[in-house]
Amino acid sequence: MSVRIYVPIDSSALSLGAEQVARAIRHEAQVRGIAIELVRNGSRGLFWLEPLVEVDTTQGRIAYGPVQAEDVPGLFDAGFHQGEQGLALCQGQTEQIPFLARQERLTFARVGVTDPLSLDDYLAHGGFVGLKRAVALTPAAVVQEVTDSGLRGRGGAAFPTGIKWKTVLDTPAAQKYIACNADEGDSGTFSDRMLMEGDPYCLIEGMTIAGLAVGATQGYLYLRSEYPHAHRTLQAAIERARAAGWLGTNVADSGRAFDIDLRLGAGAYICGEETSMLESIEGKRGVVRAKPPLPAVSGLFGQPTVVNNVISLASLPIILARGAAFYRDYGLGRSRGTLPFQLAGNLRRPGLVEKAFGVTLRELLEDYGGGSASGRALRTAQVGGPLGAYLPAAQFDVALDYEQYAAMGAMVGHGGIVAFDDSVDMAKMVRHAMAFCAEESCGKCTPCRIGSVRGVEVIDRIIAGEERDRNLALLGSLCDTMLAGSLCAMGGMTPYPVQSALKHFPEDFGIDTSAGA
């Protein structure tokens, strides 16, 4: 009987040598005459242990990591292929690793477990159960189910998904669209990528449920060009799903049509903004549209369009399969369900932690993340991407919940968390935030296009100590203008990192705090 061995094909695992490890395992097994079945799975999201190799045994899957190609002969010598656990690289049963065991994996239940492109594996692990239920329900009932689940947009804006869908459902049109925003450009975020590479059928199923619910027959999946591996995986998955009848003119024998066209972005961060993305899919410059009209009324090619993020859509299969109440029981307040938090930057154990809302930053940074990678004290974390606030340690105990974060001028966003140790220069980070806005602004509105350029200049003067008080006042006024006067979140939220850093770390800007000013 052959031994089943798992080596991830996730981008991050590959970036650390997983391909070489897979090759070494194949070679070594052949030389030793050991029959193996090598499965290329997604990543479990325990990135400090990647490449993480797993061996299927009678006691479940046993993990070894981080494995390099040169470790492979030694692993075979020690009997790792029989699940031998007395090895330095052995991490025990994968599911028992505390980082993983304490998570609440709903959306990510299959990622890292299955072979991403195997439809049999997907079906064996609960795949398409949600879609089959959606097929049996009326469109209005599916929309109601999603509304009742409390799901809010996971791309960052946190708008209630069911409400958006109802608008599209109630807007009569000959053609409607589902547009999946997979332009995951925020630094510190990688959950979309992990899901698309590790469980692509989950996203396909989610988009199809959305299509059936609002009466859209065509979906567009807009993927950033920085994700070449995800591109290949999605292409193959869409083709296989179509060949098996999960996409096409008769989805899951429902007699109804839905198909997906995969489109590639071209390196513009702004195309993660929903209207800019629609312009880009239409073949134009990714310039933001004024709202209204909402895309739900007049979106892609002027038709009613659901624009949802990857994680929002990938959460639908489990919501439909288990019911709205099951999902809604996770979380707190108006933040229901789970969020895949992404631990990045300077952490000892970076990775993906799917938890119900309500977990604190301190738990994520310390219990899961293990503190800084450098061994120095953690000073701050930026939550929600490059447009999110920098939080000081004093705010690490606030529950991660959309409303509680908004109340302190921060945002949960897409759940990306970038940790910094005490060597960080916050003046530099603030300058970076403004310079990034200047670089990536679409140029349509003045506060963002010109404000960001002036912002960099003013920050440079503050750093140089030129008329500091006057320039600080000027920066404050500029931030107010950008916040209130920008057309979208690019200019409208760049002040978040700037103002939070000034407020919590004034000493980095040469501001004298001794007088209590």
Partner 1 sequence: MTNPLPTQARLHALIDAHRTLPGATLPMLHAIQDSFGYVPDEALPMIASALNLSRAEIQGVVSFYPHFRRSPPGRHTVQICRAESCLAMGAEALEAHVKAQLGVDFHQTTADGTVTLEPVYCLGNCACSPAIRVDDDIFGRVSARRFDAIVEELQHPAGEGASA
> Stretches 164-172, 321-329, 344-352, 473-481: which one binds partner 1 (CB under 8 A)?
344-352
Instruction: Give the other-Cβ count within 10 Å of 267's Cβ.
Output: 11
CB of 264 vs partner 1, minimal distance in Å = 6
Beta strands at 305-309 and 331-332: parallel, antiparallel or unpaired: unpaired
Instruction: Give the other-Cβ count within 10 Å of 407's Cβ.
Output: 10
Q: 398 to 437, contacts with partner 1 by CB under 8 A?
A: 416, 418-421, 424, 429, 432, 436
x-or-dash string of contact with partner 1, 349-388, rule CB under 8 A: -xxx--------------------x--------x---x--
Residue 162 within binding range of partner 1, rule CB under 8 A: no
What are the tokens at 270? 């702004």
Non-local (6+) Cβ contacts of 283 within 8 A are none
Distance from C-alpha of 197 to C-alpha of 364, rounded to nearest angstrom: 24
Distance from C-alpha of 228 to C-alpha of 51, rounded to nearest angstrom: 19
In the list 134, 281, 288, 318, the residue contacting partner 1 (rule: CB under 8 A) is: 281
> Stretches 278-286, 332-340, 446-454, 482-490: which one binds partner 1 (CB under 8 A)?
278-286
> Stretches 164-172, 242-250, 256-264, 472-480: which one binds partner 1 (CB under 8 A)?
256-264
What are the tokens at 29? 């097994």
Distance from C-alpha of 369 to C-alpha of 454, rounded to nearest angstrom: 37
Count interface residues toward partner 1 (CB under 8 A).
62
In the list 77, 120, 239, 282, the residue contacting partner 1 (rule: CB under 8 A) is: 282
Beta strands at 259-264 and 305-309: parallel, antiparallel or unpaired: unpaired
Residue 286 within binding range of partner 1, rule CB under 8 A: yes
> Stretches 139-147, 166-174, 248-256, 341-349: which one binds partner 1 (CB under 8 A)?
341-349
Distance from C-alpha of 28 to C-alpha of 38, rounded to nearest angstrom: 12
x-or-dash string of contact with partner 1, 175-214, rule CB under 8 A: ---------xxxxxxx-xx---------------------
Compute CA distances 398 → 383, 408, 504, whole Å: 12, 9, 16
In the list 2, 82, 96, 225, the residue contacting partner 1 (rule: CB under 8 A) is: 225
Q: 14 to 43, contacts with partner 1 by CB under 8 A?
A: 14-16
In the list 79, 301, 503, 510, the residue contacting partner 1 (rule: CB under 8 A) is: 301
Residue 228 within binding range of partner 1, rule CB under 8 A: yes
The single residue listed with the structure tokens 């603030």 is 430
> CB burial class (10 A; 0-12, 13-18, 19+) of residue 256?
middle
Helices then strands, counting H and E runs in the chain, come out as: 22, 16
For partner 1, the closer of residues 351 and 451 by Cβ is 351
In the list 4, 23, 125, 229, the residue contacting partner 1 (rule: CB under 8 A) is: 229
Distance from C-alpha of 152 to C-alpha of 307, rounded to nearest angstrom: 12
Q: At what angle do helices 200-214 and 161-170 cross, to 10 degrees?
A: 40
In the list 8, 12, 338, 361, the residue contacting partner 1 (rule: CB under 8 A) is: 12
- Side-chain-side CA neighbours of 259 within 13 Å: the count stands at 12
The gap between the terminal CA atoms of the chain, to the nearest Å, is 73
> Stretches 45-53, 241-249, 310-318, 478-486: which one binds partner 1 (CB under 8 A)?
45-53
**Residue numbers of the site for partner 1 (CB under 8 A)?**
11-12, 14-16, 45, 47-48, 50, 184-190, 192-193, 225-229, 261, 263-269, 280-287, 301, 342-346, 350-352, 373, 382, 386, 416, 418-421, 424, 429, 432, 436, 439-440
